[in-house]
Amino acid sequence: MTRISSPHYAKATSDFDSIPIVDLSDVKTQNGFSRIAHELIETAKKSGFFYVSNHGIDQVVIDRAFAASRSFFDLPKADKSTITVNQKQRGWMAQGMTNLEGAKTHDAKEVFFWGWDVTDDDPDMLAGLPMVAPNCWPDTVAPTLKRDLLPYYEQVVSLSRTILSALAVGLGQDRDFFAKAYEKPLARGQLVYYPTATDQDLQEERFGAATHSDFGVLTVLLQDMQGGLQVQNLTGDWIEAPPIAGTFVCNIGDLLERWTNNRLVSTKHRVLNRSGNSRYSIPIFCDPASDTVIDPRDLGVSDDKALFDPITAGDYIMSKNKRNFSQYKP
């Protein structure tokens, strides 16, 4: 994989030269599950990034989700503006509304946000739990978007439960350690459109997505074949994470780094679309229920060695949203 030197960004937390592919084909067998648990933990400790192949999600479902994404972003701005993003992080966010911490300028991307669908009378929403809200589907301008996205979303959430069960075993826990937290997860989804980088973007160090780590527990990313995702290693080099047909790119987020007391790493990454074409991706941030307490002590860390205080998943993610997205600014 190509290494791209850049002096402009801070060093990441782990040293690696490539991103491995973990084959999930025999995850339902005892030996296969044990192998996968070992491989996932090793790469999660070293780089925090891995591809998964033979994941079981039908290509038809994937293709339908991608087609729906392209159709949505092709809509006129006036149509997309009918569901302008709200402070529950639902709806359409225009370019210029993301300014990630430490970035010199805003990201050059558009995003449609959704999450675990709840009704107006959902007890968690009525209780005011952060990030719990009904979705804002653009039914009048894109009436098939929900229909075309939800099968993909539901299958990725199911895949994340499998990956997390293997990570739990790799961490020395029962395979259902994360299960209760994922009965009604936040599971935040995004459709993302990246225009190709211009000369002005490069001069101003504006990226499709500036250097950041993901806020949550586990990200499962579907990227098109344009490329542009880069992951930073300890030496400050940028490792390309090129699209590989039939795989997803997965990475550990901040909350799982906290939960494991830094045993697993949430690695910096960015997107720079130099392909000359539009780039599309669909990340699902597979995060637990909003009121899930993230505490390394639950994974056997003693009080004197715990590096982090307990925090709920929803509170942490909302605090990061408020610092990175302009809809929260006064």
pLDDT (0 to 100) of residue 299: 95
Domain extent listing, the chain = 3-328
Quick one: pLDDT at residue 6? 36
Tokens found for residue 97? 């509304």
Question: Can you say whether residue 110 is alpha, beta or left, with left for phi > 0 and alpha for psi between -120 and 50 degrees?
Answer: beta
Compute the radius of gyration of the chain from its Cα atoms.
19
Give the pLDDT confidence score for residue 150 in this predicted structure: 97
Residue 163 tokens, joined: 């990956």
10 Å CB burial of residue 198 (0-12, 13-18, 19+) is exposed
Of 122, 124, 119, residue with least CA distance to 134: 119
Please tell me the number of Cα atoms within 13 Å of 131 on its side-chain side. Answer: 30
Question: DSSP character for 244?
Answer: -
Query: Nearest 5°: phi and psi at 106?
Result: -75, 160
Cβ-Cβ contacts under 8 Å for 137 (sequence gap 6 or more): 83, 114, 145, 146
Sites in the chain below the pLDDT cut of 70: 1-16, 101
CA distance 87 to 105: 21
Residue in 113, 102, 198, 116 with CA at minimum distance from that of residue 154? 116
306-322 burial, b at 16+ Cβ within 10 Å, e below that, comes to eebeebbbbbbbbebbe
Convert the pLDDT of each residue in 81-113 to its tens digit: 999 999 989 999 998 777 776 777 887 899 999
| Start-to-end CA span in the chain (Å) | 43
Query: CA-to-CA distance for 139 and 202, rounded, in angstroms?
Result: 37
DSSP character for 198?
A: P
Residues forming a β-bridge with 245: none
- Strand-pair partners of 311: 294
What is the model's pLDDT at position 14? 41
| Separation in Å, CA 209 to CA 179, 231, 239, 316 | 31, 12, 15, 20
Is residue 261 within 8 A of residue 172, CB to CB? The reply is no
Q: Which tokens belong to 102?
A: 């430490």
pLDDT value of position 16: 61
**pLDDT at 101 (0 to 100):** 67
What pLDDT shows up at residue 100? 72
Nearest CA among 185, 177, 164 for reference residue 299: 177
CATH no. of 3-328: 2.60.120.330
pLDDT of residue 160: 98
What is the token pair recorded at 16?
A: 């690696």
